[in-house]
């Protein structure tokens, strides 16, 4: 089992400004190697908290997360680092998640150099260039510019995707990775992720958009106020939603004619 989450409950304690929050309630999810799932939920439903817990950044109150067969609560910090290296993470915030002083090319190569060492620099640079090119930001002046200086939000998001893919992760955790892209680029990114899935990568794809969820992975889970309220195939959520929140999501979707396309919605899933 690649990922086995059992009855995960996560609380954030009260502060002077806000009450305590239960961000996840007895949340369970199992993913076999090579499987992917889209997690759909409104703002504040716990999506980012879930990703942060799987990547070892948030500690649960109860329940367990087992990644590549290792229980995170029993793993040493060294083991957690080793497990994290097998996961790529595209965090929701492309501003905070990239090293601002590195150039675009160095930012993408950094995880590679940390794991494979400086002697593998040439291969890492080749890989980073290839990925950035695939993501439409291969121009030399972009590659050599500092991350913090000259990138739009959408470009940062694509650099973050390249950085998450550079080590060819077994599991990609993506938190709304295409929220700043136009529809055509969003479609390109989904195809890039789909190709990785076809060669064995698993993916947990977080979004609030049911169409995008269906495109990212056939299997889906609807998260509402920290609880999994509906699980199954994204296409079934769209065709016959069961939970009131899923019904509301579907009712709010733009009505598309059968020939219309959305987010690269051409064929496939
Ligand atoms: N570090 C934190 N401290 C306190 N409360 C937090 C913290 N992080 C998240 N929360 C709270 O936990 C709940 C879930 O937040 P989370 O960021 O996981 O939601 P989300 O589904 O990712 O939302 P969005 O779609 O807006 O990104 C919210 O009520 C949020 O306010
Ligand atoms: Mg979030």
Distance between first and last Cα of the chain: 25
pLDDT band at 269 (very low <50, low <70, confident <90, very high): low
Mean pLDDT of the chain: 92
CA proximity to 195, closest of 145, 222, 220, 161: 161
Average pLDDT over residues 181-194: 96
Which ligand is nearest to the Cα of residue 44, counting in written order? 1
DSSP 254: P
Q: What's the pLDDT tens digit per position in 221-261?
A: 999 999 999 999 999 999 999 999 999 999 988 775 544 44
Which residue's CA lies nearest to atom 2 of ligand 1? 12
Give pLDDT tens digits for 119-160. Answer: 999 999 999 999 999 999 989 999 999 988 878 999 999 999
Helical segments of the chain, H only: 47-54, 77-84, 104-116, 121-134, 140-143, 147-150, 153-165, 183-198, 210-216, 234-239, 244-251
Asked if 76 and 257 touch (Cβ cutoff 8 Å), the reply is: no
Pocket test for ligand 1, best of 18, 25, 42, 49 (most atoms within 8 A of CB): 49
Query: Which of 5, 170, 4 has the alpha carbon at shortest distance from 82?
Result: 170
Interval 76-114: pLDDT, tens: 989 988 998 999 999 999 888 899 999 999 999 999 999
Closest C-alpha to ligand 1, atom 14: 46
pTM over 0.95: no
pLDDT of residue 253: 85
CA-92 nearest atom, ligand 1:
27
- What the chain holds in terms of domains, given with CATH numbers, is 1-86+172-269 (3.40.50.300), 96-168 (no CATH)
């Amino acid at each position: 089992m690649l990922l086995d989450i059992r009855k995960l409950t996560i609380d954030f304690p009260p502060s002077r400004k806000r009450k305590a929050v239960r961000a996840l309630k007895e949340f369970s999810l199992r993913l076999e190697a090579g499987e992917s799932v889209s997690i759909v939920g409104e703002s504040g439903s716990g999506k980012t908290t879930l990703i942060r817990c799987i990547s070892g950044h948030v500690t649960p109150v109860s329940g367990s997360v087992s990644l590549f067969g290792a229980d995170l609560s029993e793993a040493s910090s060294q083991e957690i680092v080793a497990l994290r290296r097998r996961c790529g993470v595209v965090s929701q915030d492309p501003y905070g998640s990239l090293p601002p002083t590195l150039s675009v090319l160095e930012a993408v190569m950094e995880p590679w150099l940390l794991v494979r060492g400086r002697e593998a620099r040439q291969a890492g640079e080749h890989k980073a260039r290839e990925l950035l090119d695939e993501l439409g930001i291969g121009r030399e002046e972009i590659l050599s510019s500092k991350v913090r200086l000259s990138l739009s939000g959408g470009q940062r998001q694509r650099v973050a995707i390249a950085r998450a893919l550079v080590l060819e992760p077994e599991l990609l955790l993506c938190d709304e990775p295409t929220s700043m892209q136009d529809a055509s680029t969003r479609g390109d990114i989904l195809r890039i992720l789909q190709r990785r899935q076809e060669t064995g990568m698993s993916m947990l794809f977080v979004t609030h958009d049911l169409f995008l969820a269906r495109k990212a992975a056939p299997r889906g889970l609807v998260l509402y106020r920290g609880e999994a309220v509906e699980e199954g195939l994204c296409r079934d959520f769209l065709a016959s939603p069961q939970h009131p929140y899923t019904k509301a999501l579907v009712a709010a979707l733009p009505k598309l004619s059968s020939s219309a396309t959305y987010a690269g919605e051409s064929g496939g899933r």
